Every structure is written in structure tokens, then in C-alpha cells.
């Protein structure tokens, strides 16, 4: 590969340097911005329409195209007699390969003193939104140098073991099942908490004893009179604290990872480890701090109120600053989705742009993590309405980890949008069964309620909505379903009480908005026709009555 001859400085004031240090920064501020936009794309390529829309959003298409051509000419003048700096065609503009040396986060100080395109000011609203979004993103991913005694950052590591101890039994069927189980369970956990996995041959060997790990996951098969049982323990290697222990009866009629009880065990163990890992590591360990912020953030996300989502976003920034991990970015993208769905922010386009930046970064860093893929699939279907892209993400996630309730939920949401309500119900039911032991099970109750509504299973839908509301009294979405479902069943007094509770949690709520505002977050009710059936009864609820 030829040596790069042009250096782009993206952090601090934007600059363009030749290899000898000569400053050849274009005088045109929009030409500088164009170079930065290309350099900050994963492919170093943008469409002409995108560039025109984000640099000349206030101009007519013909004027914007002419302005883009002028900016491209200014860039070409950097090296008038040298190699081509740009590859252009009628649709796209790209940086020429092997020409540019682009400054990255790793090249700068982590003290936060250097902003992305610091001081660049262009009087264009679209550019300003893009610039602010990029600055916010890079602030969240700057990596501090603290906590790193040896100069390198060690990932959280789980060692997967299988009993029995005796080598003579290591080829037995039970041992092989235990070993396979430990790997499957370990895989589910590491994807949820963001860790690495060490697969050990068996417990007690000298080789295993020398391997460094933070958590020990051990599986054993115990044979009873009539049945065999899988026993799993997860303990800290640092303080021997038992983080999780579970036992299930082995099913003999299906693959282990397709068994519902095994999938529940896997999901419950992952959630428990996410919660308790922070307690098992030393106080200043950045991995402990990251898991602490991660669990706090997820608790806040599932509260579904504006302040909690902002708090969750901050917690995930803190988590990522202590341990750069795509799982944290995927949760941040989901926050943008909830903020948009719940109408917490006035400009959905800004939330979509922020989510898209996070999605690109996640896919760059974590394409092998099924939890990351599942969360991004939910974002694609809920925020962008792109069911095809969502399926492309959720399908490999589910193949990689059948115990992934988020992947099942994403598949349910995509099937719902595609009009395949029966498949949506099946996916949703399986997802809820797997997550029934979750501290956040009201989330799965809600989305199964929506699948039930789409399938006209209204009694089951009402039960799910009531269950979600009981489990999380400040959770607003199930109350919306309860208003309509109670009215459908003629229980107007209960519908009235649900509306009163919703008004308390959602200032500004009124029945007229609930029935007629197409942007209000009750799309499934609207698509089902329930709101039309309920209209005559619900419109009698005055705003004062609520």
C-alpha cells in the first residue's frame, strides 16, 4: 500500500497537512466540512444528495449542486499536480484510497479538550445538527487512560467449565452435555454484559488453573432416579461470591438450546450476572464501573419516562468511557427510539440521525454480538420502520443465540409491521416465556399485549396490559391499551381510572389526542380498529374527567 500523502485533522480546528507538515487547508469552509463529512463516514463516501442536503439545505437543488461542484474544485486545488484526491461520479463523492491519513480518536488526548471540528461554524441548520450530533457522539466514546495499571485494558472474562473432575469421565455423554451447556450459557452471558469467554476442558486441570478469568461458570449433570438435571453455578474468581445458581430438568426430546427451560436459565443468568458483576470486582476496576452504569441505565430505560431516559443515556456514556463496548452504544440507540416513540423530543429527525450514527458504530465494533444485533433490529423497526433491515439483523442474532428474548421480540415487531400477525404472536409469546423471570418483564408483557391486539386476542391482551401495569406502576404504555380494551369490554369505569392514571403520568394527555392524533403512540390500537369501535364511548370522557 502506498504511503498516505495528505493528513486530515478532525479533532480540534480542522486542518489539512501534507506529509512534510505544510498546511494546505482549503480557504472554503464548506470544502473543509465536505472533507470532514467524507472522512467521518465508515466508507469514506457520501451521496451527492446527502452532501447537498447537509451543506446547502436552504438552497434549491440546482444551486446546491453548483455549490457542491465549486467545493469539489477547491479540494482538488490542494494538489493540482498530484494524484486525484477524490473519486466522483454522478451519484457519489468519495475520498481516494491510500491518499489520506485520517486522524482517529486513538490519535488524540483523552482529556476531552479537543472537540470534533472545533470552531467550525457554517450558517446552515442541517450542518449544525449534524455537527452537534457528531460532537455529542465523540464525547461519549472518548476513552480515558485511567484505571489501566499495566497500560492495556483487560476485558471482562468468563471461564466456562464442565464437571466431573475425573478425567476418566470426560468423554461420557453427561460430560459432553455439560460442556456444551457451559459454552451455550457462557455465550449468552458474554453478549449481554459485553465480555470474553474462555472454554475450559474441565474443572481442576492444571491448564485451566493458570488461565486468567473474572467469573467461573460451571455446569454439571446430576442423574436422578428418572430424570437428569443440569446444574449451573456462576461465581466470582476474585472474591468467590456466588452470582447465580440454577437447575433445570434435561429434556430428551429436543436440542438443549431449543428447550424453553434452558433458554430461561440462560436469559436469567445473563441478567443476574449483569446486575451482580459490579459487586464482584475491585472498587476502581473500570469493568466494575462500566457494569454498574450499564445496569443502572437499563433500569432507567425500562421506566419509559423522559428524565429516566436522559439519566440512562448519561450512565451509558459513563459505561462506555470506562470500557468501550458496542453493547452500551446499542442501548443508547434504543433510548433514541423510545424518546421518539414517546414523543419526548420535538425533532424526530435529530433522534434518527443520532441513532444512525450509533448504529454505524455498533456494526463496526460488534457484528458478532447477538444482543447488539437484536437491539439494533428493534431500533430499525420501531424508529425507522425498516422491517427488511430489522429482519437482516434479528435473524442471525436468533441463529447465534436462540435464548435471546430481544431477538425474538424484534422478529415479532417486524412480523407485525409486515401484517403477519400470527407469526408475530408466536415470536412474542416465546420471547415473553423466556423473559418471565426478568426484573424488566413488564417490557415483554407490553409487547405481547400488542401482538395479542393485532391477533384480536383481546382478553389475553388485557391480561398482559394489566400485568405490565402492576409490575411497573409508572409504566405508561400498558395504560393506553387498558383504556381501549376496558372500553371494548364495556368496563367504562375501569377505562376511566386507567385514563386518570395516564394523565397523572403524562401531563397534557386527553382522550381527544388519544383518539385522533395519528402521531400519538397507540399505532397498534389504531391499526386494529379498536379506537373506531371505542370512539363513541371514549369521546364522552372530558379532559376534566381525566
Task: Tell me the pLDDT band of 282, cut-offs 50, 70 and 90.
Answer: low
Task: Tell me the pLDDT band of 357, cut-offs 50, 70 and 90.
Answer: confident
Query: What SS3 class is residue 142?
Result: coil
Omega cis (within 30) before 164: yes
Q: What are the tens digits of pLDDT across the range 209-225? A: 444 688 889 888 888 77
Q: What is the pLDDT of residue 276?
A: 85
DSSP 11: B
Ordered DSSP codes for 458-521: HHHHHHHHHHHHHH-TT--HHHHHHHHHHHHTT-HHHHHHHHHHHHHHSTT--HHHHHH-TTSS
Dist CA 442 CA 432 (whole Å) = 9
Q: Across the chain, what does the average pLDDT equal?
A: 84
Alpha carbon of residue 233 to chain centroid: 28
- The closest alpha carbon to 390, from 344, 333, 342, belongs to 333
Task: Tell me the pLDDT band of 149, cut-offs 50, 70 and 90.
Answer: very low
Q: In the chain, where are the structural domains located?
A: 6-141, 157-280, 312-538
Q: Tell me the fold of 312-538.
A: 1.25.40
DSSP 246: E
Q: How many helices (H) and strands (E) does the chain have?
A: 22, 11
Helical axes 477-488 vs 492-505, angle rounded to 10°: 160
CA angle in degrees (0–180, nearest 5) for 426-432-438: 165
Highest mean pLDDT among 157-161, 338-342, 422-426, 541-545: 422-426
At residue 365, what are phi and psi to the nearest 5 degrees?
A: -100, -25
Asked if residue 514 has pLDDT above 80, the reply is yes
Q: Which residue has the higher pLDDT, 436 or 361?
A: 436
β pairing state of 196-199 and 157-162? parallel
- Map 220-235 to HEC letters: EEEECCCCEEEEEEEE
* Other Cβ atoms within 10 Å of 216 Cβ, number: 20
Query: What's the mean pLDDT in 88-117?
Result: 78
β pairing state of 100-102 and 6-9? parallel
Helix (H) or strand (E) holding 216: strand 215-223
Task: Tell me the pLDDT band of 449, cut-offs 50, 70 and 90.
Answer: very high
Asked if residue 198 has pLDDT above 70, the reply is no
Asked if residue 99 has pLDDT above 60, the reply is yes
Domain 157-280 annotated CATH 3.40.50: yes
Dist CA 439 CA 298 (whole Å) = 10
Amino acid at each position: 500500500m502506498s504511503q498516505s500523502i495528505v493528513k486530515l485533522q478532525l479533532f480540534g480546528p480542522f486542518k489539512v497537512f501534507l506529509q512534510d507538515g505544510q498546511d494546505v487547508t482549503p480557504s472554503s469552509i464548506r470544502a473543509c466540512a465536505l472533507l470532514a463529512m467524507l472522512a467521518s463516514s465508515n466508507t469514506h463516501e457520501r451521496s451527492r444528495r446527502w452532501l447537498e442536503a447537509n451543506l446547502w439545505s436552504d438552497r434549491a437543488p440546482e444551486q446546491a449542486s453548483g455549490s457542491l461542484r465549486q467545493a469539489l474544485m477547491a479540494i482538488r486545488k490542494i494538489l493540482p499536480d498530484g494524484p486525484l484526491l477524490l473519486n466522483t461520479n454522478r451519484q457519489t463523492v468519495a475520498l481516494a484510497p491510500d491518499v489520506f491519513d485520517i486522524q482517529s480518536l486513538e490519535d488524540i488526548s483523552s482529556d476531552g479538550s479537543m472537540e470534533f471540528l472545533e470552531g467550525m461554524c457554517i450558517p446552515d441548520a442541517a450542518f449544525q445538527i449534524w455537527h452537534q450530533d457528531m460532537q455529542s457522539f465523540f464525547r461519549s466514546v472518548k476513552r480515558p487512560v485511567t484505571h489501566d495499571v499495566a497500560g492495556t485494558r483487560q476485558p471482562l472474562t468468563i471461564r466456562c467449565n464442565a464437571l466431573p473432575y475425573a478425567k476418566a469421565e470426560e468423554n461420557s455423554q453427561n460430560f459432553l452435555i455439560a460442556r456444551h451447556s457451559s459454552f451455550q450459557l457462557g455465550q449468552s452471558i458474554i453478549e449481554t454484559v459485553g465480555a470474553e469467554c474462555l472454554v475450559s476442558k474441565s474443572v481442576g486441570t492444571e491448564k485451566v488453573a493458570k488461565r486468567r478469568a473474572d467469573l467461573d461458570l460451571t455446569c454439571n449433570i446430576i442423574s436422578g432416579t428418572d430424570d437428569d438435571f443440569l446444574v449451573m453455578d456462576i461465581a466470582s474468581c476474585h472474591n468467590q461470591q456466588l452470582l447465580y445458581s440454577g437447575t433445570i430438568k434435561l429434556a430428551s426430546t429436543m436440542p438443549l438450546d431449543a428447550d424453553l427451560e434452558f433458554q430461561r436459565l440462560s436469559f436469567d443468568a445473563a441478567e443476574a450476572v449483569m446486575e451482580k458483576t459490579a459487586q464482584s470486582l475491585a472498587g476502581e476496576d473500570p469493568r466494575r464501573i462500566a457494569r454498574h452504569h450499564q445496569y443502572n441505565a437499563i433500569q432507567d430505560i425500562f421506566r419509559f419516562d423522559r428524565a429516566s431516559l436522559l439519566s440512562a443515556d448519561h450512565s451509558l456514556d459513563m459505561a462506555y468511557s470506562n470500557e468501550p463496548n458496542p453493547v452500551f452504544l446499542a442501548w443508547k440507540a434504543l433510548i433514541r427510539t423510545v424518546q421518539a416513540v414517546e414523543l419526548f423530543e420535538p425533532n424526530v429527525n435529530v433522534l434518527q440521525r443520532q441513532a444512525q450514527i450509533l448504529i454505524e458504530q455498533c456494526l463496526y465494533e460488534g457484528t458478532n454480538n447477538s444482543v447488539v444485533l437484536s437491539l439494533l433490529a428493534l431500533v430499525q423497526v420501531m424508529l425507522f420502520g425498516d422491517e427488511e433491515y430489522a429482519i437482516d439483523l434479528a435473524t442471525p442474532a436468533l441463529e447465534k443465540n436462540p435464548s435471546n428474548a430481544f431477538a425474538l421480540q424484534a422478529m415479532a415487531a417486524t412480523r407485525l409491521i409486515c401484517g403477519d400477525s400470527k407469526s408475530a404472536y408466536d415470536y412474542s409469546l416465546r420471547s415473553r416465556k423466556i423473559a418471565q423471570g426478568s426484573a424488566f418483564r413488564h417490557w415483554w408483557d407490553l409487547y405481547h399485549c400488542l401482538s395479542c391486539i393485532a391477533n384480536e386476542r383481546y382478553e389475553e391482551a388485557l391480561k398482559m396490559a394489566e400485568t405490565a401495569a402492576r409490575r411497573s406502576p409508572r409504566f405508561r404504555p400498558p395504560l393506553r391499551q387498558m383504556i381501549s380494551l376496558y372500553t371494548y369490554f364495556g368496563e367504562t369505569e375501569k377505562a376511566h381510572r386507567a385514563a386518570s392514571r395516564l394523565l397523572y403520568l403524562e401531563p397534557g394527555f386527553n382522550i381527544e389526542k388519544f383518539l385522533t392524533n395519528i402521531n400519538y403512540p397507540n399505532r397498534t390500537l389504531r391499526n386494529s380498529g379498536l379506537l373506531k369501535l371505542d370512539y363513541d364511548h371514549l369521546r364522552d370522557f372530558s379532559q376534566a374527567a381525566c
